[in-house]
Each structure stands twice: as C-alpha cells, then as structure tokens.
Structure 1
C-alpha cells in the first residue's frame, strides 16, 4: 500500500543547498519510494545556539510503501552516509531528515513521533508544507494555515535567488 509522507530537510554546513540536493536524490533512490514534490528552499535562522550558520530548509512529499520504522532507519542511513555528526542539541548539522507526517498516522514510540512533535511551532516546516499542500492538516493539531497564522516567532529568511541554481531540485 502506498503512503503519503512528508519529510523535513535541513542543513547549515558544507554547502547546504548541495546537501539537500544529495539527500533528495537519496530519498528518491529508496526502495518502493519516489519523491512526488519538493518545496522551495527556505533560509532560516538557527532555532538553537545562535553561534552557527543559518539553515536551508525544504519539505519533500514522498509516496512510499515503507513502514514508518523502516523509513526512519533509511533516513538515518542517508544522514550517516552524508556524514552527519550531531555535535550538540539543536546545533549545526550537515543534513537533518525528519518524518513530519505519514498519512494521517498518529504514533509515539521511543524512536519516533508522528506527527513530528515540534513541527507546529516552526515556520521553516509549516511554510514549505503549505506550499506543497495548502489544505493539509496535522492530525490531532489543526490546519497548516491556522498554525501559520498563529505563529509568534519566525525563523525564515529570504534566500538570495542568485545563489540558487535552476537545477537545485532537479534530482
């Protein structure tokens, strides 16, 4: 059975645009998975320690038959292959891949919470999600538009268009 899954992508080290492009290629290469859509790339100030570079964020919509725990393992493998090392909580990272939504599933385990526990408070997740599906709703939380309207803090920063090559999302 095919599942609609939204993945959050973020990077702020070693050419973040290229890191996101590599991650998208890797997502598209997962078994029984294809990337359906990718949001624009967004700049954002760090949520955690401020002594780190700004981030580049995006959201990808996947169609997959992989179950949540198998998909999580695959995402962690992609992160590891790309060289992710977690230096500190909410700190800089080469690549970060998070399962945001998986159909209308609501689950919590030791390893995984769906919907992602903090997504409702992060414009760098909500705005790209809204771009992909304006009518989307987070199960048990509410509509993406309503959440965006209720945000009190913004982390988004415009990306300079000249820094974006036209083939960034052509994976």
Structure 2
C-alpha cells in the first residue's frame, strides 16, 4: 500500500504536532517497542499502513520492523476468529508515552478499530510494549505492557528486531521466550513489511 493510495485515509497528526512542539525539553530520543496485530480485512496492508502512519508521526522514527508472523487469536475459543498477522516495530521518539499512546489510538481509529468485546477481532491493534526502561502501573498506560512477557506473538518478533532486548522488571526477551516457547507463532516468509520511506 503506497502513501498515495486513495482508499486509505490519512491519520490525523495535529495532536501529536502540538505535543511535539511543546515538548522541546525532550532533547534525547527514547527507544520504544510497538506491537501490531490484525485479523480483519487485508491484514498485511493494514499492518503496513500502521507502520507508515508511525513513520509519518512528528518526533518519531521507525528504526526496525520485524518479520510477519501468523498466530491464533488470544483468549478465545479456537476457530471462532481468523488468525492474526503480528509484527513488532522498534522506534526512537521524543514523544512522551502519553502522546505515543494517543498516536496509537489515532492509528487504530483511522483503520476503524472496534472495541466491542475484549479480545474481539480487530482491523488493527497498536500496543506500546515498552518505553525505554520505564516501569509504570498507570491504568491508562501500564509499562511495560502487563502481558508482553507471556505472549509469544510479542516476544518472537521482538527478539527478531532486538535479540538483546529486556522487558523492564521481567527480564531478557531471550529468556522469557525460552520459557514461553514459539508454539503457535508461525513465520510468514512470503510476507514482508517495509520501513517507511
């Protein structure tokens, strides 16, 4: 999907631009990890659209995009939903976590994400998995993601883009992945996400 694709509505950046302009105190960018998942519509196109939208965000640079994996839905009866395409994006950003969360929600809204049921099907899921070494139990944005350490569909692609990664307060991604295992996380070598231009 190209940026000029007329079927894709651009994600508004006005909120992020205002926050970005106001946050001149954040002189050194922070590393963050974002998990993407889709099991409705054209899953690969939607994932690429989310990667591109992140890349279009002022104060944010996409540094790495993982391979695509196909996984069964989490927390629901087998066969009740389509499988997911999952990927992890490694970013550097001057946005604070709250603004990054707002941007993630804006991307979900642009792709018509519906939140009717917990663990329901979705066009796109944009989750902030970690932000630098921040540990926070803020109910609006718990960092790191409270279930990332036990989800192979997050750990496998995260390990791909950063084998030395650590889940703050939980341990090395490599060790967590060894405990959880790779069962149900199938590599899709025929599919590829590209870095934003």
| Interval of TM-score (by shorter of Structure 1 and Structure 2) | over 0.9
- Name the structure 2 match of 1:108: 137
Q: Of residues 6, 12, 16 in structure 1, which corresponds to 2:39?
A: 12
d(CA) in 1 for partners of 2:36, 2:181: 22
User: Which structure 1 residue ranges, 5 or more long, are not aligned?
Assistant: none
What is the alpha-carbon distance in structure 2 between the residues aligned to residue 59 and residue 169 of structure 1?
A: 12
Cα displacement string for residues 118-160 of structure 1 (whole angstroms, at most 9, x for unaligned residues): 0111111001111111111111111111101111673312436
**Counterpart position of 2:154:** 125
Query: 1:74 aligns to what SS in structure 2?
Result: helix
Q: Which of the pair has more CA radius of gyration?
A: 2
Aligned to 1:145: 174
Q: Are 2:67 and 2:189, in contact at CA under 8 Å, matched by a contact in 1? A: no
Task: For residue 90 of structure 1, give the secondary structure of its aligned residue in structure 2.
Answer: coil
Q: Which runs of 5+ in 2 are unaligned?
A: 1-27
Q: Does 1:31 align with 2:55?
A: no
- Aligned-residue Cα RMSD (Å) equals 1.4
Give the counterpart of 1:61 among 75, 81, 90: 90
8 A contact 2:64–2:195 mirrored in 1: no
**Higher fraction of strand:** 1
Task: Report what 1:169 is aligned to.
Answer: 194
Aligned residues: 167
Secondary structure of 2:85 counterpart: strand
Tell me the distance in 2 between the aligned counterparts of 1:152 and 1:66: 33
For residue 29 of structure 2, what is the aligned residue in structure 1? 2
Is the 1:37–1:132 contact (alpha carbons within 8 Å) kept by the matching residues of 2? yes
What is the TM-score normalised by the length of structure 2?
Answer: 0.81
